[in-house]
Amino acid sequence: MEKSFKDLHVLRGVDFEVARGSIFALLGSNGAGKTTVVRILSTLLKADAGSVDVNGFDVATQSAGVRESISLTGQFAAVDEILTGRENLVLVARLRNLKDPGRIADGLLERFSLTDAANRRVSEYSGGMRRRLDIAMSLSGNPPVIFLDEPTTGLDPQSRLEVWQAVKELAGRGTMVLLTT
């Protein structure tokens, strides 16, 4: 895959394959093109050259199939701080037209060790709890592929460990995880 912005070649000859149930990390300094790769893989940006497949779907010609297969979590937790953790999860499940959003929310709260905080407003959550909730929201509907762009940005060491544990659990359940750091 290749991508340029005017005269600046951001990506040249990027080529990789990631197996289901594995964790693939793109490592690099700021400006190295990691987020650009994620944006192309998630159909938010078009590559200039090359072919890109995600979960068997061509990103350029089958973008709807790609979007149904993935979940994307950006560099900063995209949670509604006015809502409770459970309400955030129910909202996402409803937006994805999933059956029994309350059951789905409860399962994700348990999976990410947030059950005790389920009915607290997210504004009261620690950074690690917000990030785990953000990842849990991404998993509503069990997408086979998840992209985590800088999942530990701004977190303290304990919160980072919690996020890395959640990432390991995702892969252990068969989810393909691509992360940048």
Q: Which residue has the higher pLDDT, 147 or 142?
A: 147
Pairing verdict, β 176-180 and 145-149: parallel
pLDDT tops 90 at residue 140:
no
Cα-atom radius of gyration of the chain, to the nearest Å?
Answer: 17
Multiple choice CATH, 3-180, 3.40.50.300, 3.40.1190.20, 2.130.10.10, 2.40.50.140: 3.40.50.300
pLDDT computed for residue 153 by the predictor: 78
Q: Of 145, 163, 168, 179, which is closest to residue 19 (Cα–Cα)?
A: 145
- What is the spatial distance between Cα 27 and Cα 36, in angstroms, rounded to a whole number? 13
pLDDT tops 70 at residue 36:
yes
Could you tell me if 147 and 154 are in contact, meaning their C-beta atoms sit under 8 angstroms apart? no
**Tokens 């690099």 label which residue?**
28
How far apart, in Å, are the Cα atoms of 79 and each of 67, 114, 117, 136, 137? 20, 14, 14, 11, 8
pLDDT computed for residue 127 by the predictor: 82
pLDDT tops 80 at residue 163:
no
How far apart, in Å, are the Cα atoms of 61 and each of 17, 42, 54, 57, 79? 19, 13, 11, 8, 31
- What is the spatial distance between Cα 55 and Cα 58, in angstroms, rounded to a whole number? 9
67-71, 86-90, 149-153: the lowest-pLDDT one: 149-153
Please give the single-letter amino acid code of residue 178: L
Q: Of 162, 155, 156, 135, which is closest to residue 147 (Cα–Cα)?
A: 135
pLDDT tops 70 at residue 25:
yes
C-beta neighbour count of 24 within 10 angstroms: 15
When pLDDT is averaged across residues 30-40 and rounded to a whole number, the result is 89
